[in-house]
Chains A and B, each alone.
Chain A
Amino acid sequence: MRRGIPLAITFLIGLFMLVDFFVPHYRVSDLAGEMKQWGTIVIAASILLGVGNLIRVHFHKIRRRRDGWQYSITTLLIMAVMFAFGGPWGTIQEGSAFNWMFLNMQVPLQSTMFSLLAFFIASAAYRAFRLRSAESGLLLTAAIIVMLGRVPLGQLLTRALPEQATLPWLTETIMAYPNMAAFRGILMGAALGVMAMGLRVILGIERSYLGGEK
């Protein structure tokens, strides 16, 4: 029962979504639309569950005085402040304290965190772009063209050349054609993989999402 019911639910819902695709009746599509809405709400609930789990982990860390517990106080405190500013009144409104916190704390802090990756990605680029083989030569050439073509320097370096020899034009061409062709292939391969996995899930062959316990 513990595994049978969720497997049956998965089968029925999966089958219904398939039926919705092939049966264009308004009652079927209305119910399918409602179910899609349920999925969105379950996702939202799972995000809140994740936040709840984060609170639990940090709370335990503080209670047991584990290594670095003082930082957990920071996390819980700022989370409480953020919730206090936004929780009772709702989403972003111009001039609200929640909006101020979002614009002056979350956005700059996250962008600084991501910009930190610039240093690590530079070291990764050094390893990836080394000219070890013919293929890595292509990788290097395409990356250099795209990197230069995206900045004013690239435009400056090739401004005397005809348009079709400028770095911005080459960048656009690479992104629009060889890059597009390759990523379409990957996208289609991934879509076929998703379909195979979907079939396995609906038929109950794939059960890893149920977890390890009985």
Chain B
Amino acid sequence: MTLFWTTIGAILTLSIYSFLYKDNPFYKFAEHLVVGVSAGYYLVIYYWNYIDPNVVTPVFLLRVGADRIPLLGMDWWMALIPGILGLLLYMRFFPKVAWVGRWPLGIYVGGYAGLGLSPIMQARVITQLGANALPLAGVEDPFAAMTNLVLGISIFAVMTYLFVAKRSMGAGNKLVRAGVIVLAAVIGYVGYLALSLLSNAGVVSLTNILLVVGLLGTLSYFFFSMKHKGLLGGLARVGIVFLMVGFGASFGYTVMSRISLLIGRVGFLLHDWLHLID
């Protein structure tokens, strides 16, 4: 029986991969199967996790342990309001009264807009700023703090000079620009290693400075109320560097997550189904 279901699973897996050749009936069948299974799953999950406990049970039934007694719950009328609002959404199936479906949308959109003002300011701006502005390590030792700061600033100065001030350097020559990048990366990395040999506090200080510079640069890049010239232009260029590293890292991370899924499915075919690998 297990072999039967494994074979069905393998056939469906191969049907989906057949799309790599071209769109075909096997793929279409598997694709519609995925849509059907997912829709059925979410139908059940959303009903039992949200509608039933918050609307149906308080209004029509009272749960006592595992049993359900037909009795109105205490706040049944409060539960009736979202139930009615939810039902109003379905009015869009009746063109004459479809406009009533805007009322629950108004509640949802208005609520989210209200939450989007102050709470989001606190959660996503102020908290993030606090998490980003970390103290320099080693402040209790003035000499260590000074060394860290000088080293950190020097490394940033060199990197910024290479990336920003000398932007025109080799602008027409890709090889020279790529060389500049490699040189800057090597200088930054060697400086970082040297710093880590001197003190661990130096590394902490540097990374904390890096967070602040990166955040300022990124925000400057997205600040369009002024022309990107002078200091703002320089900061925006630094922002591009951080953004590119961030996008590269995120893209690389996404690629690897997809590849790991692929490895999982190939493992299923070769191990679970064909028993070719251990």
- Residues of chain A touching chain B, judged by Cβ–Cβ distance below 8 Å, are 2-3, 5-18, 20-22, 34-49, 51-52, 54-56, 68, 71-72, 74-83, 86-87, 90-91, 98, 101-102, 104-106, 108-119, 121-122, 125, 128-129, 131-147, 150-151, 164-165, 171, 173-192, 194-195, 197-199, 201-202, 209-211, 213
Contact of A41 among B42, B82, B131, B250 (CB under 8 A): B82
**Assuming A6-B103, A115-B265, A165-B193, is B37 touching A78 (CB within 8 A)?**
yes
Check A41–B83 contact: CB distance below 8 A: yes
- Quote the shortest CB–CB distance from A71 to chain B (angstroms): 4
**Assuming A68-B28, A143-B251, is B258 touching A82 (CB within 8 A)?**
no
- Residues of chain B touching chain A, judged by Cβ–Cβ distance below 8 Å, are 5, 9, 12-13, 16-17, 19-20, 28-52, 54-55, 78, 81-83, 85-87, 89-90, 92-93, 98-99, 102-121, 123-125, 128-129, 131-132, 163, 174, 177-178, 180-182, 185, 192-193, 196, 207, 210-215, 217-219, 221-222, 239-256, 258-259, 261-262, 264-265, 268
Give the distance in Å from the alpha carbon of A175 to the alpha carbon of B219 in the complex.
19
Check B265–A178 contact: CB distance below 8 A: no
Contact of A146 among B45, B47, B252 (CB under 8 A): B252
Determine the residue in chain A with the shortest Cβ distance to B258: A118
Contact of A143 among B5, B44, B248 (CB under 8 A): B248
Q: Which of A139, A140, A192 has the most chain B CB atoms closer than 10 A to its own CB?
A: A139
A–B Cβ pairs within 8 angstroms, 11 of them: A41-B83, A48-B47, A71-B32, A74-B32, A79-B36, A79-B39, A82-B43, A87-B43, A91-B48, A102-B41, A105-B33
Q: Which residues of A contact B240 (CB under 8 A)?
A: 135
Determine the residue in chain B with the shortest Cβ distance to A41: B82
Q: Which residues of A contact B262 (CB under 8 A)?
A: 115, 118
The B contact surface, by secondary structure, is helix
Q: Which residues of A contact B93 (CB under 8 A)?
A: 52, 56
Q: Which residues of A contact B239 (CB under 8 A)?
A: 182, 185
Determine the residue in chain A with the shortest Cβ distance to B185: A141
Q: Which residues of A contact B129 (CB under 8 A)?
A: 188
Contact of A178 among B47, B86, B242 (CB under 8 A): B242
Check B120–A194 contact: CB distance below 8 A: yes
Check B33–A195 contact: CB distance below 8 A: no
Q: Which residues of A contact B256 (CB under 8 A)?
A: 146-147, 150-151
